[in-house]
Each structure stands twice: as C-alpha cells, then as structure tokens.
Structure 1
Amino acid sequence: MIFLAGRDRYTQRTLFRDVHDRLTNQPGCEEVRYRPSRRRPRYVIADVDPTTFLSDSYDAATARLEIRFWYPAGVDHEYYRINWVEPDRNLMLGFHQDADHPDLGSCHIQLNHEDTPVDR
C-alpha cells in the first residue's frame, strides 16, 4: 500500500517507481511499464490478466491499469487518476482526484463506455 500523506518527502519519480515495483510483483500484472519513458514517467501502465489479478473469474480476457500522479502548483493535495481499462469492451472505470469535474468535487469515480462518460 502506498500512502500519499507527507507528499513533500515523496517525489513523483519515487512514487512512480514504488507503484511500478508493486505492480511488477502483483499476480496478474504483466508488461508493467512507464509512459512515455522511465526517465520521464507520467504514467505507470500494466497489462492485466483479470482472472489472476482478481483471484476470481471475470468476463474480460484482458484489461489494463493506468496510474498517474502529479503535484500541481497552488493545490494542497496531489492529483491522480487510477483507471481500469477493458479495451475489448471499450470500457474505462477510473478513480480520479483532479480539477476536471469541479461539480463533483476534487475526488470522483468515472465510468466511460464507448469513449463517452456514462456516470461520474
């Protein structure tokens, strides 16, 4: 588990490295990588075997985890997006803390289907 309290001690690069290492050792996570690169990480992405990852049967054969953290200036908390993406079903479920939907507050869950927000 990664705690985000005391962010002044936690650089973005350190956080990405810890997430990358955790997913690399997580059953069901394959092809864990940084995007765009290890030197300039903006995301950690992992291809997922849902049945192994969830330890239960699941309708989708493949999924992807996309994790992003950033520390915007002038904001007293970190922003993040943690997305579960199922490309074959054109589905994305995300847990976000950012400024994209101020009407929902800084933290929200978002469900997209066929590239369209279904619920927030």
Structure 2
Amino acid sequence: MSVPRPGSNPNANLYAQLKRDVLDRLPQITMVEYVPDDIEATELRATFDPNRLDPPTGPDSPELIVQWYRQDPHDWFRINYIDPNTDFHAGWHQDEDHPDLGRAHFQYSTPSEEDRWGISFEQETSSLILWEIVETLLEDVHSNYQ
C-alpha cells in the first residue's frame, strides 16, 4: 500500500480548486465535503444522487473520494468510486502500488470479478485529469459495470 506523500500543506487549496472546478459542477453530485474540514483537508468526499446516475442505482448514495498530493515529477492521487448498492468499486490511482502497470492505473471490483490495468491521461492539470476521470466514470464505467 502506498503511503500518501508527506508535506506540511494538506492540499486544502488544491481541494478547493477541484471542488469548485469539477465536483460542484456535476448535476449528479448532491454534496461535496472536505475531510476532515476545509482547513486541514486530506480528501474530498462527493455524494451522488443515485437517481441521477444512468442507470439509476439506489437507494443508498454512491460516493467519490478524492485524495491528491502535489509532488515532483508527478502528483500522487487516488480517486475512488464506491456504490454501496451494488458493492461496485472503481479506482483511478497514480501511486506506487502497481509499478508493473506504469505510473497510473484503473482498477475495479464487483462481487464476482476484479481487474486492473495501466492507463494514461490526455490532460496534465489536476482539474482536467479529474474531469477526465469523472467523464469516464459517468459515460463508460458506471454503465458497463453496474
């Protein structure tokens, strides 16, 4: 398991940017919160309205958890989607957990299967990478694995 990158700045400013530029703009998301709070944020937690997803899921609200640390030469991040209704999990990770898959990988698990593979992003900035991940989640991953 990778250890989050150390640093005195818990990335509260980065999380404010990701919240404002991406998560607050998605109609499927009903709430975004800083964990533990907006000053010492170590992650963002976004709650989806299960009826606004295609296909709908429910009754419990799926979550998207964003952990992101700036570092050179490449940021460390984990973006995880969890649907408690179907026990589906999807994750986009740029960490050291699977060096055989390259710098970043996608992984998913359902009650009956799991898999992971290397990925790359078209974008380079954190907000645009998160947009790319959320678009992939909503347009491909959610509908193909639910």
Post-superposition shift, 1:12?
Answer: 2.5
Distance 2:51 2:55 in 1: 6
Query: Residue 28 of structure 2 aligns to which amino acid in structure 1?
Result: G
Query: Residue 118 of structure 1 aligns to which amino acid in structure 2?
Result: E
2:23 alignment partner in structure 1:
23
1:4 alignment partner in structure 2:
none
Q: What is the root-mean-square deviation of aligned Cα atoms in Å?
A: 2.3
* Large movers: runs of 4+ above 3 Å: none
Matched, 1:103 2:100: yes
1:45 alignment partner in structure 2:
45
SS at match of 1:60: coil
Q: 1:78 to 1:117 in 2, by over 3 A?
A: farther
Report the number of matched residues.
104
Post-superposition shift, 1:97?
Answer: 0.5
- Higher helix proportion, which one? 2
Are the equivalent residues in 1 in contact too, given 2:29–2:49 (CA < 8 A)? Answer: yes
Distance 1:105 1:13 in 2: 28
> Structure 1 length normalisation: TM-score?
0.73
> Structure 2 length normalisation: TM-score?
0.61
Are the equivalent residues in 2 in contact too, given 1:110–1:117 (CA < 8 A)? Answer: no
2:83 alignment partner in structure 1:
86
SS at match of 1:88: coil
- Higher strand proportion, which one? 1
1:66 alignment partner in structure 2:
65
Are the equivalent residues in 1 in contact too, given 2:76–2:95 (CA < 8 A)? Answer: yes
Aligned-residue sequence identity (percent) comes to 29
